Amino acid sequence: MLTLIIGLAIMLGLSILLFAYFAYQNYQRWQLNNQIADDLDDILRTTVKNLASLKERHAEQLGATMVDLKDPLKAITSPMMVSTMLTVMVKKAEVIRLSLDDFANLNDEDFVSIYVDNKTQQLVLSTRHDLVEEQESVLMGGFTSNDDNTFH
């Protein structure tokens, strides 16, 4: 009986030592997690501060690059207008699928003409280049050449 008690006491002692070892390892992980969380908080605060300063620094430039729809010719020649037109077209069609064959079937002579319908105040994008009469045609700056060095 005494041997059984001594054996159980040794097992209890080993269990306590094993528990203490794992508790110490957990404590070290907890400290490391807290340190990482503090470092991430510092990085996040610095990033938010940098973004705020960049936003303030470029506030005037952001206002200048927005498309001004009150001046149609300026709006059409704006670099932002292509992105805006694509967004409007995809929103209107909901889904537009382009395959590699669509790009491969383009010729060097294929380009999109942009017309302004003065009666309906609409932009007309077409690959037909005969939709406008001579008295209505307007030379739009920036669109005088069909070669825009874009992959077709």
Does one domain contain both 94 and 113? yes
Mean pLDDT of 14-42: 96
pLDDT number for residue 137: 46
Q: Please report which residue ranges of 58-151 form alpha helices under DSSP H.
A: 59-65, 72-76, 80-93, 100-104
Choice between 74 and 95, residue whose per-residue pLDDT is larger: 95
pLDDT number for residue 61: 60
State percent of the chain over pLDDT 70: 71
Q: How sure is the predictor about 124, in pLDDT bands with cuts at 50, 70 and 90?
A: confident
> Residue 101: which domain range?
66-134
Does one domain contain both 106 and 74? yes
pLDDT of residue 73 exceeding 70, the answer is no
Neighbours of 76 (CB within 10 A): 19
pLDDT number for residue 20: 97
Choice between 97 and 108, residue whose per-residue pLDDT is larger: 97
Q: What is the mean pLDDT of the chain?
A: 78
Mean pLDDT of 127-133: 70
Q: Hey, what are 6's tokens?
A: 């001594």
Rounded to 5°, angle at Cα 96 from 71 and 94: 75
Number of domains in the chain: 2
Q: How sure is the predictor about 152, in pLDDT bands with cuts at 50, 70 and 90?
A: very low
Q: Which helix (H) or strand (E) element contains residue 37?
A: helix 2-57
The verdict on residue 28 lying in a domain is yes
59-71 residue pLDDT tens = 656 555 555 566 6
Does one domain contain both 85 and 112? yes
pLDDT of residue 92 exceeding 80, the answer is yes
Does one domain contain both 50 and 71? no
